[in-house]
Amino acid sequence: MRKGLAGQRLVAVFLAGVLLFDFPLLSLFDRPLRVFGVPLLHLYVFVVWAGLIAVIAWIAERGAR
């Protein structure tokens, strides 16, 4: 039963990733603004990408126990 729950969580993370990288949300961060010298859109994409990887790793590690 645990593997099924982990699979469902991974599907939910995938769907969240699709929504977070979809055009309407990306267009909110497409501004000529720089944070610490990095364009806001690039910073958003990198932070969301790293967050998704961290959540996937957490789900995979929890499922391995």
DSSP assignment string, 33-63: -EETTEEHHHHHHHHHHHHHHHHHHHHHHHH
Number of domains the chain contains: 1
What pLDDT is stored for residue 1 in this prediction?
43
What is the span of the domain harbouring residue 56? 5-64
CA dihedral (40, 42, 43, 45) positive or negative? positive
Please, which pLDDT band fits residue 14 given cuts at 50, 70 and 90?
very high
Asked if residue 2 has pLDDT above 90, the reply is no
SS3 3: helix
The reported pLDDT for the residue numbered 59 is 94
